[in-house]
Amino acid sequence: MGLSLTEQTVGTDLEGVLIINKPGGWTSHDVVAKVRKMLGVRKVGHTGTLDPSATGVLVLCLGKATRIAEYLVLADKAYRAMLRLGVATDTQDADGAVIMRHQGSFPEEQTIRSVMQACVGINHQVPPMYSAVKVKGVPLYKAARAGLTVPRASRECLIHDLKIVSIQRSPTVDVVFDVVCSKGTYVRTLCADIGETLGVGGHLVCLERRRVGRFTLEQALTLADLTDAVTRGDVQGCLHSLPDALAELPAFRLDPVSSAAACHGTGFSPARILDTQGSWTSGTPVRLHGPDGRLLAIGKAPWASKDPAWQASADIVKIEKVLV
């Protein structure tokens, strides 16, 4: 869905969400810098880092769309990964130094499948040292490069689904699998943990992110595709609008009075809501639209949609982000 703008040119108030197929060997920051220079847009940010060796969906926010990045970051992600059993590295991926090689026999296929299937559900991961997670304001990777190991607490993540695509033996065991997981999941840590559970060690060989929320790899543009769009003068056709990017959030359509209030960051009572879309729980971010359907802001509902008395509640909807 293209962003609806008129007489739009590259570098002139471009705003929207751009889906890039990140190439291997590029950092996420490299891609942001390239797109910023290519499009002449000052405000460009991504919604979830991919390691340099990883490829696939990188969601970029341009212009005003940077205001919604925090909501896109929350989206579930889908990956295809290859786990190599029998070799552990200090970075938990193929870029690191080998710290262990298994010399004995490997588990049977059914054991591998059982251990990996048991990962579905809530997991607790210790962030890898080679990561951007900050401890006392310092990214872990900086400490790791200095040869330090920093104590760090485990973090909860959720594996929604995990399916094994193939298992090949020669001479190590390589497992290709698809995984759908929550924000904050480290697939390389998942691989290392599986290897440790199996008693043979393991690391991530390669990783492709295939989906972020509603955005898929099929929608992603290569940097060459984007270059062609710039040449054709059709960058706006590559962008997704803010309403499109936020379509998975529930929505309220407001009357003129509450619409004006929302545009100024002022909350409103539920009596001002004309109609709703989707369901929500208390504290859920919701899209706020004017009577004509125009997206105005992001709010937070203090009551749940299943509460039969919410329309008569005295609690107001608070404004989190004004988007106009």
Q: Which residues are catalytic?
A: 51
110 is written with which tokens?
A: 């059914």
Residue located via tokens 């997704």: 240
247 is written with which tokens?
A: 């379509």
How far from 126 is each of 9, 104, 123, 129, CA to CA, in Å? 45, 27, 10, 9
CA angle, 286 then 18 then 224, to 5°: 170
**Backbone dihedral region for residue 171 (phi beyond 0: left; psi -120 to 50: alpha; all else: beta):** alpha
CA angle, 317 then 320 then 324, to 5°: 105
246 is written with which tokens?
A: 């936020």
Round to whole Å and give the CA distance between 13 and 9.
8
What sign for the dihedral angle of Cα 54, 167, 94, 148? positive
Round to whole Å and give the CA distance between 301 and 310.
10
How far from 139 is each of 95, 130, 132, 164, CA to CA, in Å? 18, 9, 5, 33
Round to whole Å and give the CA distance between 143 and 146.
5
Residue located via tokens 């940077």: 66
Residue located via tokens 């026999």: 105
Find residue 162's DSSP bridge partners: 179
